[in-house]
Amino acid sequence: MSILDALNPAQRRAAEAAGGPLLILAGAGSGKTRVLTHRIAFLIKEVGVPPWRILAATFTNKAAGEMRERIEQLVGSAATELWIGTFHSICARILRRQAEGFGLDPNFSIYDEDDRRATIRRVLNAHQIDERELAPRAVVSQISRAKNAMLDPLEFAHQANEHQRQIAELYADYERELRRNQALDFDDLLIEVVRQFERHPDILQTYQERFEHLLVDEYQDTNRPQYLLCRQLAAHHRNICVVGDDDQSIYQFRGADIRNILDFERDYPDAHLVRLEQNYRSTGRILAAANAVISHNQGRKGKELWTNGPEGDPVAVVECDSDRREARHVVDAIRRYDRLGRYGLGDAAVLYRTNAQSRPFEEELQRARLPYVIVGGIRFYDRREIRDVLSYLRLLVNPADDIALRRIVNTPRRGIGDTSLDRLQAFAQAKGWSLSTALEHLDDVPNLSGRAQKSFAAFAALISELMAAIETLSLPELGFAVVEKSGYRAMLAAENTPEAEARLQNLDQLLAEMTEYADANPDSTLATYLEEKSLLTSADENDNNGNAITLMTLHSAKGLEFPLVFVCGLEENLFPTARAIGDPQAIEEERRLCYVGMTRAQEQLSLTYALRRYAYGSLLTTEPSRFLSEVPAELTAQNYELDRGFARSRQRVAPPPRKKAPAPQGVHYEWDAEQSPGFDEFVDQDDFLAVGQWVRHPQWGRGQIVSREGQGEKMKLSIRFGTRTKRIAVAYAQLEPA
């Protein structure tokens, strides 16, 4: 009995393929890890390759550990002799083993991101460059891009434009600082091995001869240094086996180059190609929909996923009035599935394009008291930039809030160090004052430098200006003023990194949320807003006990699977992003990201979009994503979650025409409301919102309508909650019959 007997025909062809270059195109859910581990076991047990002559490179320690465990189950203790690890760990191992020959100290330090930024700060200080003018994170990002392009400081300087010349100087000094500290950063681990192999062909030959077989997982995610390293190591035996999926290449922003996998057969003209197309994860309709979407890409090898499993339910395409209604629909659907016993909460995943989109989903889940976890991120109101802005607002309401002041007094950086702040704190404590009061007596603070006094005074003036604006500015206007006048937006804009852009999007989401809150609660104040946010974020933490709903970006979802998946925010300028529109290659990467999201679903897939979405403090009209129109109508069921202040419509009305991307024309199924989430019974507007009717508000509880004005989206109600009467905009109030 062969160890390959459990594989399907295509998997077996890949596992037992003869030596030489081998490209395994492994579609989503096709069992690529199974094939890779069985191929290694086959080489050891049936071909007779010594395990120490096999090198397997992965991208995560988790993947490396899982691979080793599976191989050990197949071949026993021989698995311990394999070289299996991430590219970075393998390179670090080579560098330490060959340190003397490479002219390195074998005890070199490896600098992570925090270490890199700290080093750059020292370099900036030496150049007398203010971090407010040039953020360390931005410098690190540009240096990393140069390194991934295999450019040393001199080469980078030769091709630098006017704006990059300063970076080139900093790059050179950064490298000198690393050498002084006998340190390598993460990029260096890869680059140094490639360069040292070029300089020392005798050492390269040793590794070429040693590793008879090289196997690479997730080859579509390799960058240029990783590509060059693979070429170097495989040059002698040419037994290179790469496993990957060009349709799942979604990490270009990290330096991944899809051409590495697309051009494999050009690099190795005698390469053998095996496609793994049988899917063991998703239903037939989900696969057909995903196949249809990705088929619109030009830059791909081409494959068609299929399954022996059931066809399954249609893909749900859900149109919602707003992003808030979208979040409510998703939460209601999950809750209904759970109540009916079809799926548990832990079976559900909510996927979105950017971290900033998590906010309405988090709030709806918290209101529904449903447990959830965020993968690859932190809760919206716990994110640093959100807490910073809320701390500014807290200080405006309560100047005695020293915790808030300490958080923001040097954010953005104002040249206020810990020593100066500690001296101010000691002075305040001696007087029995708050820090804000102490700021009014800076001349009396002992040992405070003139520079620190000036910085503290500027901060105090900023807070005074913002406090004075409370009486004249609306809540969203005040939030906007904090973000702008504090310099927070300018700080992030100057960084010009993907992380800074994501943080800016989070700030825009916060301002949008303030606008929603102010519209829904016209009588609210800054104090009541902060109180609600405090209650919202100080609730009991949701334990990840295996029965929690998963929220994550589409990038974070790669490699995972869930019975119930919602891909949300499928709108032009959001998914695909505005930056991608007009760039065919970028659109193809966005489409690959959509494909990744769709193929996470095992049994139920919902694609949702909003007709209106809050962004930049305004309610904007959106266009459905082009990806929706690429899903064949016969594979979908259309659902309209139209928010007329209260109602969830069962009507099957054709969506209004769109200029940029037509709304998908799905098959309209008359589903049972108790079996298919999202199709609640129609409620008549006049009966529900008539004066005298009782309603329930998620924050204020049960109340009676005492007056009504306006119609449709502009309708506003006055509702008496106990002894208080609130004037509420119906479109955002989430009212329900009491």
Residues labelled catalytic? 32-33, 217-218, 248, 600
How far does CA 299 lie from the centroid of its chain? Answer: 24
Tell me whether strands 716-721 and 701-709 are parallel, antiparallel or unpaired.
antiparallel
Residues 272/23, Cβ–Cβ less than 8 Å? yes
Q: Which residues pair with 351 in a beta bridge?
A: 552, 567
Q: Round to whole Å and give the CA distance between 385 and 382.
A: 9
CA pseudo-torsion sign 233, 236, 238, 239: negative
Q: Is 243 left (phi over 0), alpha (psi -120 to 50) or beta?
A: beta
Residues 233/201, Cβ–Cβ less than 8 Å? no
CB atoms inside a 10 Å sphere around CB 97: 13
Report which DSSP code applies to 30: S
Residue 463 to residues 398, 478, 488, 519: CA-CA distances in angstroms?
11, 12, 14, 26
Q: Round to whole Å and give the CA distance between 363 and 367.
A: 6
Cis ω on the peptide bond leading into residue 576 (within 30° of 0)? Answer: yes
Read off the tokens for 709: 């004005």
Q: Which residues pair with 635 in a beta bridge?
A: none
Going by C-alpha positions, the residue among 211, 177, 292 that lies closest to residue 634 is: 292
Per-residue buried b or exposed e for 56-87, using 16+ beta carbons within 10 Å of the residue's own CB: bbbbeeebbeebbebbbebbeebbeebbbbbb
Residue listed under structure tokens 């704006």: 163
Q: Round to whole Å and give the CA distance between 361 and 551.
A: 8
Helix pair angle (201-210, 224-234), 10° resolution: 70
Read off the tokens for 208: 């070429």
How many helices (H) and strands (E) would you count in the chain? 30, 21
Q: Round to whole Å and give the CA distance between 50 and 35.
A: 19
Q: Round to whole Å and give the CA distance between 506 and 355.
A: 7
Encoded amino acid at 151, one letter: L
Q: Round to whole Å and give the CA distance between 541 and 430.
A: 37
CA pseudo-torsion sign 495, 61, 82, 21: negative
